[in-house]
């Protein structure tokens, strides 16, 4: 837990591990969305920010395009998984 960089009166568990800053729910947004970040796959700020956005039509199209079929072994059961 820490205090939001923009709202010091707010306690928050959301932390950008790259920049070592805390962001409250109102401020959840990745500061470097276009740059590679080694923390992204486990970053709550990234996922909560995307969830908050709700995704526009272009994002939804990209997600649909990125959907994959996975085969679960040893049964060979096939499932569709969303992009990301």
Which residues form the interface with ligand SF4 (CB under 6 A)?
16-19, 30-32, 37, 39-40, 43, 45-46
Backbone angles phi, psi at 62, to 5 degrees: -60, -40
> Nearest approach, Cβ of 53 to ligand SF4 (angstroms)?
14
Pick 6 or 70: Cβ nearer ligand SF4:
6
> Nearest approach, Cβ of 71 to ligand SF4 (angstroms)?
30
Distance set, CA 14 to CA 32, 47, 78, 80, 81 (Å) = 16, 11, 35, 30, 26
> Nearest approach, Cβ of 18 to ligand SF4 (angstroms)?
4
What six digits make up the tokens of 84? 């990301």
């Amino acid at each position: 837990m820490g205090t939001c960089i923009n709202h010091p009166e707010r306690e928050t568990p959301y932390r950008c591990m790259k920049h070592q800053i805390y962001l409250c729910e109102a401020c959840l947004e990745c500061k470097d969305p276009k740059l590679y970040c080694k923390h992204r796959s486990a970053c709550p700020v990234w996922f909560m920010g995307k969830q908050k956005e709700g995704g526009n039509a272009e994002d939804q199209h990209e997600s649909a395009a990125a959907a994959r079929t996975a085969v679960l072994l040893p049964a060979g059961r096939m499932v569709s998984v969303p992009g990301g």
